[in-house]
């Protein structure tokens, strides 16, 4: 991957007003999350670090707060691929003596790297704020240790999906809308109740946004009070593999399509 090209692409993707909007979003997420977590952690005791209800609640709060960043990653990747295609920059780049692998990596990393660093910044900020102010530091560290890799994997998952949509549709507005809808759809599936889903409800734990939560619970040894479900059929490391699989599930085929089949037709 060429660093000079990466720098140029990052400056394009993160030019005004994108960077300002992202920083504003991060600031908003940080403030609201810190406040919510603070209210919970100050009233819980050390034992509650392994309490399923508290852990579950905190993880869900963190995940929900991170969702806008994940959606932003999809929008930026979609813009980076589809807008560059429409404007002709993709054609210019693909005509240079640079491999397609390098161009793909540059366009992907230009979005994913700064966004991951931003999300890690939020997580660490929240962790530090809560650690020194809340009564339950262990709980905070647990959440942070989970959030750091999971945010990266979630961004990778969604950015891969966005790149695939952008390369397939090749239209800026259409692909951005499709990416946002796809993101909310995946998130929406996670919120469906067993009453709605019926017999397939058990499989919900394996969906892209639910699997990371299950990973944390299984690693901590937190169990549901009710009958154990299908999630117990996978060991904790199985869930780790599952979220790594989700991180590359769209990325790998998109990369293969871009390097082997993608054509600049217009």
Contacting residues toward another protein, per CB under 8 A:
2, 4-5, 8-9, 11-12, 15, 84, 87-89, 91-92, 94-99, 263-265
Residue owning tokens 């769209």: 250
- 96 versus 192: smaller Cβ distance to another protein: 96
Tell me the CA distances in angstroms from 8 to 45, 80, 105, 144, one per residue in order.
49, 12, 13, 32
- What span, in angstroms and rounded, lies between the C-alpha atoms of 104 and 235? 34
Q: What minimum distance in Å lies between the beta carbon of 100 and another protein? A: 8
- 23 versus 264: smaller Cβ distance to another protein: 264
Q: What minimum distance in Å lies between the beta carbon of 87 and another protein? A: 5
- 15 versus 235: smaller Cβ distance to another protein: 15
- 96 versus 241: smaller Cβ distance to another protein: 96
Q: What minimum distance in Å lies between the beta carbon of 25 and another protein? A: 22
**Helix, strand, coil tally for the chain in percent (to 5):** 85, 0, 15
Closest to 74 measured CA to CA, from 162, 196, 189, 172: 162
Q: What minimum distance in Å lies between the beta carbon of 107 and another protein? A: 12
Tell me the CA distances in angstroms from 87 to 64, 84, 124, one per residue in order.
34, 5, 38
Q: What minimum distance in Å lies between the beta carbon of 176 and another protein? A: 19
- 241 versus 264: smaller Cβ distance to another protein: 264
Closest to 57 measured CA to CA, from 37, 43, 42: 37
């Amino acid at each position: 991957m060429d660093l000079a090209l990466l720098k140029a692409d990052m400056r394009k993707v993160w030019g005004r007003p994108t960077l300002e909007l992202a920083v504003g979003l991060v600031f908003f997420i940080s403030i609201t999350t810190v406040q919510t977590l603070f209210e919970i952690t100050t009233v819980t005791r050390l034992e509650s670090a392994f309490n399923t209800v508290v852990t579950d609640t905190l993880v869900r709060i963190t995940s929900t707060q991170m969702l806008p960043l994940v959606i932003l990653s999809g929008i930026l990747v979609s813009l980076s691929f589809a807008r560059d295609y429409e404007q002709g920059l993709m054609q210019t780049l693909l005509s240079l003596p640079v491999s397609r692998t390098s161009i793909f990596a540059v366009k992907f990393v230009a979005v994913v790297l700064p966004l991951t660093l931003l999300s890690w910044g939020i997580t660490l900020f929240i962790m530090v704020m809560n650690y020194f102010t809340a009564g339950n530091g262990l709980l905070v560290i647990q959440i942070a240790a989970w959030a750091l890799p999971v945010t990266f994997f979630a961004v990778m998952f969604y950015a891969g999906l966005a790149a695939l949509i952008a390369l397939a549709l090749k239209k800026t507005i259409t692909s951005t809308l499709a990416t946002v809808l796809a993101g909310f759809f995946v998130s929406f599936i996670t919120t469906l109740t067993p009453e709605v889903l019926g017999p397939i409800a058990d499989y919900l734990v394996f969906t892209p946004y639910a699997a990371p939560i299950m990973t944390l619970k299984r690693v901590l040894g937190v169990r549901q009070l009710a009958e154990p479900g299908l999630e117990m059929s996978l060991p904790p490391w199985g869930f780790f593999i599952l979220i790594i699989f989700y991180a590359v599930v769209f990325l790998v085929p998109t990369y293969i399509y871009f390097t082997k089949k993608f054509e600049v037709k217009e």
